[in-house]
Structure 1
Amino acid sequence: MEISAIPTEVLTLNPDRLLAKLYLDWMPQPGNYIDVEGNTYTILERRHRYQFRRGKYNLFRILVYVQPAPANLERSIIDGRWVIGDVKCLYNAHSEILRCAVNPDGPCRDCRFWESVV
């Protein structure tokens, strides 16, 4: 399925407010990060809105609920997706949600368990 630019509304949960209306060329997933007006947010939830046209339902809009990402967020892109933490560390989970097995809250800098990937 080819994804074209999808109208997306970015909202916060508490307080409930609209941050932005964007056109995304990728499908936002919970755990991904999104940058809005210079701030980074973690996507918590995604909802779809459909419209019935010409006898079928079409994706009309996506709503994503977000929260501010931690200030000490270390992240990198690997294979087209964001992962948190130092990807050069042996214990990095290569996940959007979990940093690593031994120090999940981070930070990676000055971690006593840090080992280089060979």
Structure 2
Amino acid sequence: MEADSLSTEIILIHPHQTLGKVKLDWMPQPGNYLEFYGQTYTVLERRHRYQLKTGRYQLHQIALYVQCATRPDEKSWIDGRWVIGDASCSYNACSEMIRCAVNPDGPCKSCNFYEKS
């Protein structure tokens, strides 16, 4: 069974609830954004569920654990991936999920703590 034909369950972390199931044509990684019924979510975790068939385990379903989010306006390309915020700041977390410790909600442009790294 191919990944693009697998059922993907979308689970909201807080409050913990299943939002629904969908078949995706891409493999979301933690930190990716997902549009689902007009709402934007950040993928926090991806789990694979396997099923035993004819003596072998086969990938049966994918579960995505998400939280509500808004797409960040500021992104930087670092080492082949997008990170939130201005990566030239020494406080930037270089993460797809969090901008930095001192100003996690941003924006980077008007941040008083900005330090060129």
Matched, 1:103 2:103: yes
**Which residue pairs with 2:73 in the alignment?**
74
Q: 5+ unaligned residues in a row in structure 2: which ranges? A: none
User: For 1:26-105, what aligned pairs fall within 5 Å after superposition?
Assistant: 26-29=27-30, 31-69=31-69, 71=70, 73-76=72-75, 78=77, 79=79, 81-87=81-87, 89-91=88-90, 92-105=92-105
Name the SS for the 1:41 alignment partner. strand
Q: TM-score, normalised by structure 1?
A: 0.68
Root mean square deviation, CA, Å: 3.0
CA contact (8 A) 2:8 2:24 kept: yes
Q: 5+ unaligned residues in a row in structure 1: which ranges? A: none
Deviation at 1:39, TM superposition (A): 2.7
CA contact (8 A) 1:73 1:84 kept: yes
